């Protein structure tokens, strides 16, 4: 790497140790040297020589990512499967070879590109290169590895739903680029389940082509050494016709407030979003600087207001995305529920200030120096340079433009920042995405039109709620009739429910049994046995215990007893009002009445009553834990008439971490001794 030095060296100057020292004359830094050449098969290669240590790294960028997916998730699963079998090696053999020379190869796919990279010592380079070439060009995609991967991906999707920030960003892409735009594509359980091994092989065959990729090589190697090795390693990789897929233009959804209910949230994730400009548009950099002024580092304005003045949040930010053809300008913050609307107003106010006032010179200069300085510090890392070269090639940015970035950015003025804000950050062109507790909805409605979406980013039909045509008393009365009538319900004094249980968590499945014994008014004993995990609970009139994996039973704190006693009630849904529960119908949609049910002990559940059968089809329950609130849904499927009462055949309980299915059988009014509701070992 070469830099031009014009450092003036002066010795023996008196240094005032009580003042911030003046900087030495700045070195004019030129873009590091690199080489660019094309292999016979059409693969473009960038070489950044770095002889500091005898190491070499490789990074292949394929011009295809989520944006090219026919079934959302194909690109990323293809990438993740690359090093699970390639050339003539199985997944294990490949891992052993790579580990034997201390090389980790990672492959990731995001947005419009896939990147495969790894690094190692120069002396292992011949083997590294041949393994790397196998991984990129000759993956074998074994069925057994595909079958192991899919459940892992599904578990990942489930966990994504528990991360409000990433839901807000996915929604922001939909709102800004359009509901069905390729840039807004996101893998779902359904899309991943529809992917076959043939889809993966096809994706690889179409997109992983030398003329649809660039390779960056960084490290202790010269072009003369490198070219013959690369020609040999990639000799079998042939170019073919690759049709460049042009993205359709953005078609933003109506400007407004997009709300995604996440019951139990204690914080709201806010993402204000507007459509930005393409990367090479002359307005791109002034607009990017608007993002820095608001959310870049500790000096950004949202840090000063949202965080330091109001303490609404620890994590404000703002950015302009960096894609070739279209971009989003986004301000983000995770704030306490109660201040959601106030925080939105603060963000809007800060954006308005950018439009209405010029940024003071000193503040602007400090921010520009920080942004440009951080960029230049990265020049020390040769991989950073390689990354810039590959991205510039992808988006068609000229090297002259790349090289003049620091001086061009440093010359941006307050007037340019203000003009960009006035042009692109208009109030009536900014949508607001919020993922948070349903409780905050009434306050949001005061701010403007609210469009409601669910965690799968589908519109909620509550936009067309059906009319509620029944009182809650009548509804619960009909439910009692549907169950078998009040008399029949109260005739059941004891009940044994047995089930075949299966627990699914990520790729793992555990099967076992559950036996629940109940006796009125509120005795209960449940044994859940999933082979190695065993849990037993007891509740009698005054006390309650739990035991795990055969440990001595522990008494539950008396504060929880009322709650557990109520839960021990036989056919609880038929006795809600009698037991002092409060119930309120909130809406009717999709043929279901949604009823908020609050127990005398304070628990809040949402019951779904089917409008035709008047039986319970689902219960939503929010559990709080120190890690945050978690929504549990229990769905009931298929009811049978068992000696005159309707009881569910099956239930599926789901939370972000696992799902549990129970298939039930029942014994009505068996004889159960009271002592069975008290543990024998305490």
Partner 1 sequence: MFRKLSQYYFVLTLVFVCFSALPIFGQMNPIKFEEYNLPNGLHVILHQDKSAPVVATVLHYRVGSRDENPQRTGFAHFFEHLMFEATDDIPRATIDKYIEGAGGSLNAYTSFDETVYHFEVPSNEIKLALWIESERMRKLHVETAGVETQRGVVKEERKNRNDNTPYGTWFEKMFKNLFTSSSYSWTPIGSAQHIDVATIAEFKEFYNKFYQPNNGTLVIAGDFDPKMAREYVDAYFGIYPKGAEIKREEFKLPELPAEYRETVEDNKAQLPAVYIGYRGPKKGDPDSYAIDMLNTILAGGQSGRLYQRLVDKDQIAVQSYSFNQDLQYSGMLAAVGIVAPGKSTGEVERAIYSEIEKIQKDGVTDEEFQKARNSEEDKFIFGKKNALEKAQALAKYYVYFGNTNEINTELQRYYKVTKADIQRVAKQYFSPDKRVVLTYIPKAK
Nearer to partner 1 (CB atom), residue 623 or residue 669:
623
The answer to whether 444 and 256 have CB atoms below 8 angstroms apart is no
Interface mask toward partner 1 for 568-607; x: CB under 8 A = ----------------------------------------
What is the nearest approach in angstroms of partner 1 to the Cβ of residue 187? 21
Among 166, 342, 414, 546, contact with partner 1 (rule: CB under 8 A): 546
What is the nearest approach in angstroms of partner 1 to the Cβ of residue 48? 12
Residues 285 to 344 in contact with partner 1, rule: CB under 8 A = 297-299
Nearest alpha carbon to residue 275 among 176, 182, 192 = 176
Instruction: Please state, in angstroms and rounded to a whole number, the distance separating the CA atoms of residues 529 and 535.
Output: 6
How far is CA 455 from each of CA 195, 434, 460, 462, 609, rounded to the nearest angstrom? 22, 11, 10, 14, 22
| Residue 399 contacts partner 1 per CB under 8 A | no
Alpha helices (H) along 484-591: 486-491, 561-567
Tell me which residue has tokens 């037993």. 536
Nearer to partner 1 (CB atom), residue 119 or residue 633:
119
Among 81, 98, 261, 302, contact with partner 1 (rule: CB under 8 A): 98
Burial level of 443, CB count in 10 A (0-12/13-18/19+)? middle
What is the nearest approach in angstroms of partner 1 to the Cβ of residue 104? 7
Tell me which stretch binds partner 1 (CB under 8 A): 87-95, 331-339, 342-350, 386-394: 87-95
- Structure tokens given for 548: 């795990």
Tell me which stretch binds partner 1 (CB under 8 A): 71-79, 249-257, 278-286, 618-626: 618-626
The answer to whether 183 and 177 have CB atoms below 8 angstroms apart is yes
Tell me which stretch binds partner 1 (CB under 8 A): 230-238, 541-549, 597-605, 609-617: 541-549
| Residue 37 contacts partner 1 per CB under 8 A | no
What is the nearest approach in angstroms of partner 1 to the Cβ of residue 282? 24
Interface mask toward partner 1 for 17-36; x: CB under 8 A = xxxxxxxxxxx-x-------
| Residue 369 contacts partner 1 per CB under 8 A | yes
- Structure tokens given for 18: 């009580």
C-alpha 58: how far from chain center: 28
Tell me which stretch binds partner 1 (CB under 8 A): 341-349, 444-452, 530-538, 580-588: 530-538
Q: Is the peptide bond between 145 and the residue preceding it cis, with omega within 30 degrees of 0?
A: no
How many Cβ atoms from other residues are within 10 Å of residue 318's Cβ?
A: 24
Tell me which stretch binds partner 1 (CB under 8 A): 39-47, 71-79, 120-128, 564-572: 120-128
Tell me which stretch binds partner 1 (CB under 8 A): 13-21, 483-491, 595-603, 663-671: 13-21
Give the total residue count for the chain: 682
SS3 330: strand
How far is CA 444 from each of CA 344, 429, 431, 452, 460, rounded to the nearest angstrom? 10, 18, 13, 11, 16
**Cross-strand partners of 538:** 525, 545
Among 380, 458, 469, 584, contact with partner 1 (rule: CB under 8 A): 380
Number of residues that bind partner 1 (CB under 8 A): 77
Instruction: Please state, in angstroms and rounded to a whole number, the distance separating the CA atoms of residues 539 and 677.
Output: 6
- Structure tokens given for 1: 């790497």
Residues 637 to 676 in contact with partner 1, rule: CB under 8 A = 657-658
Q: How many angstroms separate the most distant Cα atoms in the chain?
A: 102
- Structure tokens given for 565: 């006693």
What is the nearest approach in angstroms of partner 1 to the Cβ of residue 379? 5
Among 531, 559, 641, 671, contact with partner 1 (rule: CB under 8 A): 531
- Structure tokens given for 56: 């070499």
Nearer to partner 1 (CB atom), residue 158 or residue 589:
158
Nearer to partner 1 (CB atom), residue 3 or residue 37:
3
Burial level of 463, CB count in 10 A (0-12/13-18/19+)? exposed
| Residue 92 contacts partner 1 per CB under 8 A | yes
Nearer to partner 1 (CB atom), residue 246 or residue 298:
298
| Residue 101 contacts partner 1 per CB under 8 A | yes
Tell me which stretch binds partner 1 (CB under 8 A): 63-71, 345-353, 439-447, 545-553: 545-553
Residues 499 to 518 in contact with partner 1, rule: CB under 8 A = 503, 505-506, 508-510
Residues 223 to 282 in contact with partner 1, rule: CB under 8 A = none
The answer to whether 330 and 271 have CB atoms below 8 angstroms apart is yes
Tell me which stretch binds partner 1 (CB under 8 A): 6-14, 180-188, 326-334, 565-573: 6-14
How far is CA 60 from each of CA 57, 169, 244, 387, 644, rounded to the nearest angstrom? 10, 27, 18, 10, 67
Burial 207-230 (b: 16+ CB within 10 A, else e): bbbbbbbbbbbbbbbeeeebbeeb
């Amino acid at each position: 790497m070469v830099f031009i030095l014009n450092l003036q060296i002066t010795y023996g100057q008196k240094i005032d140790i009580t003042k911030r020292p003046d900087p030495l004359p700045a070195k004019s830094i030129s873009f590091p040297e690199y080489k660019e050449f094309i292999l016979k098969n059409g693969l473009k290669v960038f070489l950044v020589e770095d002889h500091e240590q005898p190491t070499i790294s490789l990074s292949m960028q394929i011009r295809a990512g989520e944006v090219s997916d026919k079934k959302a998730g194909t690109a990323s699963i293809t990438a993740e499967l690359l090093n699970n079998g390639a050339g003539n090696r199985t997944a294990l053999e490949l891992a052993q070879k790579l580990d034997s020379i201390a090389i980790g190869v990672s492959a990731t796919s995001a947005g419009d590109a896939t990147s495969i990279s790894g690094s190692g010592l120069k002396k292992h380079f011949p083997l590294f290169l041949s393994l790397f070439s196998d991984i990129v060009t000759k993956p074998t995609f074994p069925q057994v590895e595909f079958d192991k991967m899919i459940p892992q991906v599904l578990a990942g999707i489930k966990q994504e739903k528990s991360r409000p920030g990433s839901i807000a960003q996915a929604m922001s892409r939909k709102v800004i680029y359009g509901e069905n735009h390729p840039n807004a594509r996101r893998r779902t359980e359904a899309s991943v389940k529809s992917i076959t091994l043939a889809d993966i092989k096809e994706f690889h065959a179409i997109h992983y082509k030398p003329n649809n990729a660039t390779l960056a090589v960084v490290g202790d190697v010269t072009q003369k050494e490198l070219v013959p090795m690369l020609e040999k390693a990639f000799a079998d990789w042939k170019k073919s016709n690759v049709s460049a897929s042009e993205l359709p233009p953005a078609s933003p959804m109506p400007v407004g407030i997009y709300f995604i209910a996440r019951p139990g949230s204690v914080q709201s994730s806010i993402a204000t979003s507007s459509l930005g400009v393409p990367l090479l548009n002359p307005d791109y950099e002034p607009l990017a600087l608007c993002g820095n002024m608001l959310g870049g580092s500790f000096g950004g304005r949202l840090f000063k207001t949202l965080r330091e003045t109001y303490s609404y949040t620890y994590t404000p930010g703002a950015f302009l995305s960096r894609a070739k053809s279209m971009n989003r300008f986004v301000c983000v913050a995770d704030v306490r529920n109660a201040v959601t609307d106030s925080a939105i107003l603060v963000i809007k106010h800060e954006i308005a200030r950018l439009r209405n006032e010029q940024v003071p010179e000193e503040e602007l200069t400090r921010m520009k120096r920080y942004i440009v300085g951080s960029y230049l510090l990265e020049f020390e890392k040769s991989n950073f340079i390689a990354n810039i070269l590959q991205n510039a090639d992808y988006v068609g940015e000229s090297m002259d433009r790349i090289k003049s970035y620091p001086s061009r950015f440093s010359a941006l003025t307050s007037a340019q920042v203000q003009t960009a804000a006035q042009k692109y950050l208009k109030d009536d062109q900014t949508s607001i995405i919020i993922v948070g507790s349903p409780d905050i909805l009434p306050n949001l409605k005061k701010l403007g039109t609210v469009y409601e979406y669910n965690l799968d980013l589908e519109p909620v039909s509550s936009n067309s709620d059906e009319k509620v045509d029944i009182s809650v008393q009548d509804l619960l009365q009909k439910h009692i009739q549907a169950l078998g009538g009040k008399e029949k319900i109260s005739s059941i004094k004891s009940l044994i429910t047995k089930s075949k249980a299966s627990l699914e968590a990520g790729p793992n499945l555990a099967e076992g049994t559950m036996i629940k014994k109940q006796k009125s008014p509120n005795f209960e004993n449940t044994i859940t046995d999933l082979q190695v995990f065993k849990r037993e609970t007891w509740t009698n009139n005054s006390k309650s215990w739990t035991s795990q994996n055969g440990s001595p039973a522990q008494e539950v704190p008396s504060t929880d007893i009322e709650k557990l006693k109520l839960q021990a009630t036989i056919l609880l849904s038929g006795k809600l009002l009698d037991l002092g529960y409060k119930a309120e119908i909130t809406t009717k949609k999709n043929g279901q009445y949604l009823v908020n049910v609050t127990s005398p002990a304070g628990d809040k559940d949402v019951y779904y009553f089917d409008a035709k059968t008047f039986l319970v089809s689902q219960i939503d329950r929010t559990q709080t834990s120190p890690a945050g609130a978690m929504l549990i849904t229990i769905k009931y499927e298929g009811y049978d008439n068992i000696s005159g009462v309707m009881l569910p055949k099956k239930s599926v309980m789901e939370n972000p971490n696992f799902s549990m299915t129970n298939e039930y059988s029942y014994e009505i009014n068996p004889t159960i001794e009271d002592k069975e509701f008290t543990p024998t070992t305490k």
